[in-house]
Amino acid sequence: MNTNMANSSIRNGRLKQRLLSLLLLIMAIGVMIAPGSGSANRVLADLRKPNVLLIVSDDQGYHDLGCFGSDEIRTPHLDRLAAGGIRLTSFYVTWPACTPSRGSLLTGRYPQRNGIYDMIRNEAPDYGYQYKPKEYEATFERVGGMDTREVLIPKYLKQAGYVSGIFGKWDLGIHKRYLPLARGFDEFYGFVNTGIDYYTHERYGVPSMYRNNKPTTEDRGIYCTTLFAREAIRFLDQHHEEPFFLYVPFNAPHSASNLDLKIRSGGAQAPEKYKKMYPQWKEEYVKREREGKYGGKDALVATKECRRLRYAASLTCMDEEIGRMLDLLDRYNISENTIVIFFSDNGGGSGSDNSPLRGHKGMMFEGGKPCSLYNPLSSQDSGRYRNGCIFDIP
């Protein structure tokens, strides 16, 4: 065996060891928090092939759940998850923005090791420029992606007999070799870039939604949070009798990626039903008093109150869809063998409340870190550290 082959073999062995260690750690937490009164055989039986439901929100503020202290935003289903599980109040990710955070989540490796140490996105739309089709195809947003030598969690889970699905934001490359099905997932429905319009599913005018390996516009006009939950529920209906890894990375409450300044300046988008739940805030727009980096003077832009309204409404809609997934786990009697993890990919952005932390998304201050909830295996033996426990160790 030559030196390169030997180094490659060692590297792959270490990768596999890290990912398996990550999965074992998740399962071991369930054992560690259980008091010793139950049957060891029962705990081991529960842990043989636990299901994993991993839910990620996008740019959510640290304070913006009822269980994290908010008295403004309605999140009853995530609050229920917290009441029966653990709040991780010093949970950190590897980068305070989308792409590197997600790359580390799925590989178990730091950004500087897995190669995704910055965003796979274009800066020009931040200044109001829309690429021509040929220009856009040559930009980093269309050619960049995670190194194909990196191994993601679902690839190893497949070897253990798991079926894996991702429904929502991918953000690790759009070419076939980078897409989820090439990285170990069995099903994918979602968008491939860092952000989209919630209704057109376009990123600054370019369609971004995929089903498996092919672009699709089949659901254009339908609110995307609803679509991602629809697909996740279909996946649960089809695969609840086998071990599964279900990854649901919502884009809510990320700002809409639309060149229309009125939409873009308003942050997140949300259906009217959820906006009406927050009559204390008005959806108003005012003329800008000076030139901005996109849009000129006198352009209509959303007020701070408007951004908060749209943000809160999108979060409550997402919470309701998460509730439907949790209810389905109960209906199929698989809650007791399903690890449920929820967190935001990083700190809050437009419209969010990161208090009492300093800073926000994109900053290395504490406000750049996310909130997190963890619900371990729900056996009767897992009582002492479960119900509403707070875990504050970084």
Higher pLDDT, 225 or 97: 225
pTM flag (> 0.75): yes
Q: Is the pLDDT of residue 142 over 70?
A: yes
CA 33 remoteness from chain centre = 26
Q: pLDDT per residue over 20-33, tens digit each?
A: 445 544 444 333 33
**Are 313 and 110 spatial neighbours (Cβ–Cβ below 8 Å)?**
no
Q: Is the pLDDT of residue 83 over 50?
A: yes
Strands 244-249, 206-207: pairing is unpaired
Could you please report the per-residue DSSP string of 187-229? EEEEE-SS---TTT-EETTEE-EEETTEE--TTTTS-HHHHHH
96 vs 372: CA distance, rounded Å:
14
Would 40 be classed as within a structural domain? Answer: no
Q: What total of structural domains would you count in the chain?
A: 1
Beta-carbon contacts of 60 under 8 Å, excluding residues fewer than 6 positions away, are: 253, 315, 344, 348, 352, 370, 371
**Are 130 and 137 spatial neighbours (Cβ–Cβ below 8 Å)?**
no
Would 376 be classed as within a structural domain? Answer: yes
Would 71 be classed as within a structural domain? Answer: yes
Domain that holds residue 168: 3-35+45-391
Q: Is the pLDDT of residue 259 over 50?
A: yes
Nearest alpha carbon to residue 249 among 130, 90, 98: 98
Residue 255 has what DSSP assignment?
P
Would 241 be classed as within a structural domain? Answer: yes
Strands (E) located in 217-366: 244-249, 285-287, 300-302, 338-344
The token duo for 219 is: 């659901």
Would 334 be classed as within a structural domain? Answer: yes
Q: Is the pLDDT of residue 59 over 50?
A: yes
Q: What is the CATH number of the domain that holds 225?
A: 3.40.720.10
How many residues in total does the chain contain? 394
| One-letter amino acid of 244 | F
